[in-house]
Structure 1
Amino acid sequence: MTTPSRVVRLTVDDVIHDDDQVLLRLGEPPSPVPAPVADLLLSWIPNRDNMNTATNRDSRWLFPGRRAGQPMHSDALSALVNDLGIPTTAGRVSAIREHVLEMPAPVVADALGYHQVTTAKLAAQAGSTWSRYAAGDHLRSPSGWIPGRTDDS
């Protein structure tokens, strides 16, 4: 899950335009960007805000800030996105709730970089059935455990 604080740290080098496909490097491998968003992204790059000051002319930030050499503040980006009618916090929480309904909260926390308490609370609110999941390494046998005999052995 990519938060506004991570999005503002993207640079124009994180946007990969390869023939007919646009990819965004949010992690590895880069993620494909759907066509309507890709068009907006590609048209944004040459027309980015805050590029007129002498110290920002060569900025590589995808979302340059008002201060030279700094990206846009994450709160400013969230406000812009909210002004477009996209509720960033509600959307993020909704997405996490969907994940905790499909898999255990500790797994979601590890995968998305959230604290396990946060995902556990969202799982409880969403009515998740994974409440008895035991987090941890399930590949090792408990200490002192001896496998039982089967008919094959």
Structure 2
Amino acid sequence: MHQSHTFPRDRSREYLRDLLIATGVLAPDARELRGLLAWLEDFLAQQPSSYRHTLQTYSRWNILRRARAQADKGQLTDNTVGNIRNHLRMLGEFLTWLNEHETALDRARQAHIDDFISTHPDATRHLPQFLRWTHSTGRSRLLTSPTYRSQQTSPQRAGSEHWRTVERLLHDESIRADTRICALFVLLYGQRVANISRMTRDAVTVTAENVTVRFAAEPIVLPPGVDTLLRAHLQALSNNHEQRNGPWLFPGRNPARPIDHGGLEVRLKRVGVAPLAARTTAMMQLAAELPAAVLAGFLGIHPQTAVVWNTIAASSWNSYPALRRSQNSRTDV
């Protein structure tokens, strides 16, 4: 009998494979990891033999090891896989550029790095990690690359516009409920769309008194209006015979898969929510109100990142009820 990963990959077969996994016919595996492994095999086959082994070794020990660990935890997303592909493509361009300049990696000098970056500025996202590895493994001399820093400030929305959008999404029943909830998670809690798309139902707890949601370790009590929307959404999932037993809070067209985060971003933009600007505005306001430790515990960001947000937040936020209520209800925070 053929193993599931030996079948050709296309949309219909992937859909069938997901359903077979969901019903227990096939053992669970990570669709994103399968796709990454197939892509990597093709990518390496297209690279010149002079540096194919270097990319293969780097991918095995620095990329795939982390990707497998993320897949085991259910944290390997399509967005992550896309970033990995872009990373390896840029490294392929860099090594091709060295070849074209008749320079082997072990003979590359700092001037080569500087010249390459001058024509490939995005390489500063990708080269530092690779060059540290090549030096530590004896494949190159000590070479450095500036670390990528965005040259643009993160966009924000005016506070009044931000809150008008919140009010509209709370009450506009012409918009799908799941779209409204996802948008509110961005607007109120600064959550990334990729993280929202992969939320599972066990992150939500419903009682007669309130509804809580966990984006990280600490549960957040949802404010009135948002809790009503989420109660109704969960009831709709329970009433749908295809979705009632699935793990995802926001299932995709295939109930065995979460909603595609790219498609979700498009839906949010259609209802007037630009995810990056909305998230930045929410994080700035939250950081002005909450200590770094509380911010990290509620929103699932690194404590040092929370400190940075606290530092750059320029104004206080006096009108946000949900986190304040959760915080005040805990005596140990």
Distance 1:96 1:30 in 2: 17
Letter of the aligned partner of 1:88 in structure 2? P
Q: Identity of counterpart residues, as a percentage?
A: 24
TM-score for both structures, normalised by structure 2: 0.29
Match of 1:10? 199
Q: 1:85 aligns with which of 272, 288, 291?
A: 272
Mapped pair 1:33 → 2:222: yes
Match of 2:261? 74
Letter of the aligned partner of 1:13 in structure 2? D
Q: 1:23 Cα shift? A: 0.3
Distance 1:17 1:72 in 2: 22
Distance 2:220 2:289 in 1: 22
Letter of the aligned partner of 1:89 in structure 2? L
Distance 1:71 1:88 in 2: 18
Structure 1 unaligned spans of 5+: 128-153
Inter-CA distance 114–20: structure 2 relative to 1 (3 Å threshold): closer
Q: 2:281 aligns with which of 89, 94, 114?
A: 94
Q: 1:34 Cα shift? A: 0.8
Letter of the aligned partner of 1:42 in structure 2? R
Tell me, what secondary structure is at the counterpart of 2:248? coil
Q: 2:236 aligns with which of 23, 41, 47?
A: 47
Distance 2:226 2:285 in 1: 23
Q: 1:96 Cα shift? A: 3.7
Q: 1:93 Cα shift? A: 1.8
Distance 1:31 1:102 in 2: 15
Match of 1:135? none
Tell me, what secondary structure is at the counterpart of 1:46? helix
TM-score for both structures, normalised by structure 1: 0.56
Q: 1:63 Cα shift? A: 0.5
Distance 1:44 1:3 in 2: 20
Question: Cα RMSD (Å) of the superposition?
Answer: 3.6
Higher strand share: 1
Q: Identify the structure with bigger relative contact order (alpha carbons < 8 Å, sequence gap 6+).
A: 1
Match of 2:211? 22
1:65-109: CA deviations, max 9, x gaps? 123421001122222233333332211122344567789xxx79x
In our comparison, the structure showing a higher alpha carbon Rg is 2
Q: Pick which of 86-95 and 17-26 moved more.
A: 86-95
1:118-144: CA deviations, max 9, x gaps? x69xx5xx88xxxxxxxxxxxxxxxxx
Distance 1:87 1:70 in 2: 24
1:18-37: CA deviations, max 9, x gaps? 22111011122211111101
Higher helix share: 2
Distance 2:286 2:255 in 1: 39
Inter-CA distance 96–61: structure 2 relative to 1 (3 Å threshold): same
Distance 1:102 1:57 in 2: 38
Distance 1:90 1:52 in 2: 37
